[in-house]
Structures are given as C-alpha cells and as structure tokens.
Amino acid sequence: MLGLGKRDLTLFAVVAVLALFAPFILNPFPTDSGLAQFNAGYPDLMQRFVIFGILAIGFNILFGLTGYLSFGHAAFLGVGSYSAVWMFKLLSMNVIPAILLSMVMAGLFAVVIGYVSLRRSGIYFSILTLAFAQMSYNLAYSVLTPITNGETGLQITLDDPRILGVSATADGGIPVTNLFGLEMRSFETVAMGPWEFQFSIGYYIAAVIMLISFYVAIRIFRSPFGMMLRAIKSNQNRLYYTGLNARPYTLAAFVISGMYAGLAGGLLACMDPLAGAERMQWTASGEVVLMTILGGAGTLIGPVLGAGFIKYFENIFSKINDQVVHGWVSFLPDGLEDLVVGLIHPFVGKGWHLTLGLLFMLIVIFLPGGLVEGGQRIRNAVSNRRNRNADAAEAQAASQQPPAE
C-alpha cells in the first residue's frame, strides 16, 4: 500500500495518528490543574513541532544517509521564509504559491552552496557550510536590506500590491495568510469536561505537509538512490574504485535537504508572515543537528521525535520559574524549601539550555542511536522477558507431565 512495506506502512500510520490526535495527546492535564502548564496542545506550538520536524527530516536525508554534517541549513530556512513573505507581498496571501516558491528558491540556493562545499568532506565540508550560512546571515542583516529589510525583518504592509489578492481587508486591516479562504490562524476550542482542546486549521495544514514530507523521506530511504547514499556514508573511496562518481548523489541529497529546509521556512512564514535574519544564524543550524542526533540520526522517526523534544523544552520547560518550583516543594520547611529551589533554579526557566545539554550528553554517551535506540532497547527488554516467561512456563508444564510408560 502506497508503495511501502508492512513495517514502513505501520510507522507511517503511527506518525499520522500522532499528528491527527496531537491536540488530545499534548493536553493530558485538565485546564484548571496545577500541571496544565505542561500541556503543549496550543496551535502555535503544535505548528512549530511539525514544521521543525520537517526541517529535521530533510537534514536527516543528508546527514543520516550520507554522513555529511552541515552547519548551514539555517541559510535555507531563512531563504524559504524571505521567499514566502515576498510572495505574500507581491502575489496573494494564499500559502500554496508561497510554499512552492520557498522550496524552489531554497533548492537553487542549495545547488550553489552544495556545488562548492561538496568539493570537500568531513570537517572541511562542515566549516564551508557554516561559512556560507554566516555570510548569508550578514548579507540579510546589513547588505541586502532592500530585499530583507535588514534588522527589522521583512513583513507585509498595506502598501503591498498583491496582484492576485487584496491589499487590505474590508475594515482596513492587513489580510491574513490562508489556504483558499481558510485562515491559517483560525482555530476552534472544544471543551470536554475539565479539558479544553484547540483545533487549528494552520496546524492541520502543516501536519498534512509534514506527513507528505515523511512519506517522501521513507521512499528515499528505501530507494536505490537511498542505498547509494548509504554506500557513500559507508565507504566513499570504494565507490570511486568501482568507477562510480559519488558527487552527483551527494549534491542531489544536499539539494533535497535544502528544499526541505526551505519548505520549513516557508511554513514558518505562513504561520507568522515575518522573515528576519535571525533565522539564518548558526545557532539555528546547530539546533537541527541536535534534533537529528537526539532523536536518532539515520532513522526515519528519530528526527521528528528530536524536534518535538527540543521544542517542548524551549517553549514549556523554559516557563518553569522559581515561583512554580516553590509551589512544588511548599510542603518542606522554609529553609529546606529555599535550598531545594536554589539547587533547581539553574536548570529551569532561563537555564533550560543547561538541562537540555546534560540530557544530550547522557543520550550521546549511553544511547548513541538517540531516542529511537532507547525505545528499541525497551522493546527488546520486554520481548526478552516475555520469551523467558514463555520458556519457563513450557519447562514447568513439561516437568509436570507424567512419564511415558
């Protein structure tokens, strides 16, 4: 079905179910509960989960399959955002043309950067991509200001022509991004007892695009092209000895990965039609590297898990302040309570990066395959325990049988 094997089809179905029921899954605590602050089922945050999942899926095609570590993917993310906003300014507020232009422009930019950078491998390739990303950031920030609007960022205004749309709404406001009339920012709140669930059009559009991107990634992984990329990662010199030129394959992987990043950048602009140079900083490139390694480089679902994990920490865990911690340990004596809060303080709130860094170190040391390897170990442990119990039961049943006469 869909050209997928049974295992891949099951994985795709699991991801589809998770994306479809995310508003329920990410809101496990009642609205009036003290733990409601850990709910993540908000439209804006859910959209970020799937958008950065797309970014990580694309990066995994390059890094997970070929082993080429790029520190410049933020450049494609920024190009995608700028392209989408320009489409909103010139054509219409429909997200389809903006998304298509984002992918095309990011792909063309990736061809240029990849053609130069892929002449080297290893750390030299990584440094070249980082250099291109930083040059792109500085160009967007201070040189190409007529195109990028510099430090302020590119945004839509009432003076934009929008030749296939309206420049202003009936009440004189700026029109919003939409999909053939369906506003990206619109959502419905459904109350079920003490729970409240928010269903956003923008989220489900982004989720469908993420599922399509995930499906394409599965087909790439299982294709002869994907096998060739794995061969490059395994031993590129052997390919050259057999007469095969690996560079066209690596360039194709780099361009595909860049187009994924451009798609993610375009979706960010669809969610909020503003493009700034900060999206092209090296920290954004490092973030997608963390997402991929944390989830499991070279796996299909790992980058999606890693993206969700990091974005949850960034948006939820970072909101835990001293007041919240005081509420958790209020049952302790005053002196001990202050001591505990003082010990926890560096790891929460603004210090969430420290907690994430420690978790990343532990995962890299003890789970080199990321969160996916952790899940596989748990599954194997449960399976082995069931097998041992089954063998013990069979041995006991055999011992209780009367001997044959």
Q: How confident is the model at residue 127 (pLDDT cuts 50, 70, 90)?
A: very high
pLDDT (tens digit per residue) in 176-186: 898 988 888 88
| Nearest to 261, CA basis, from 219, 303, 198, 300 | 303
* pLDDT for the residue numbered 74: 93
If you average pLDDT over every residue of the chain, what do you get?
89
Helices (H), ranges, 120-245:
122-138, 145-148, 201-222, 224-234, 236-241
Average pLDDT over residues 196-219: 93
Ranges 156-170, 216-230, 231-245, most confident: 216-230
**Neighbouring residues of 188: CB distance < 8 A, sequence distance ≥ 6:** 198, 199
* pLDDT for the residue numbered 63: 94
Give CA angle at 392 (388, 394), nearest 5°.
120
* pLDDT for the residue numbered 306: 92
pTM recorded for the entire structure: 0.91
Average pLDDT over residues 400-405: 62
Average pLDDT over residues 54-69: 94
* pLDDT for the residue numbered 79: 95
* pLDDT for the residue numbered 405: 52
Domain chopping of the chain, boundaries:
6-282
Q: Tokens at residue 2, please? A: 């869909």
Gap between the Cα atoms of 108 and 100, Å rounded: 12
Query: For the structural domain made of 6-282, what CATH number should be given?
Result: 1.10.3470
- Is residue 196 classed as helix, strand or coil in its secondary structure? strand
Q: Tokens at residue 247, please? A: 């560079």
* pLDDT for the residue numbered 173: 82
| Helix 282-295 vs helix 73-90: crossing angle, to nearest 10 | 120
pLDDT at 402 over 70: no
**Neighbouring residues of 318: CB distance < 8 A, sequence distance ≥ 6:** 348, 349, 350, 352
Q: Tokens at residue 5, please? A: 């094997």
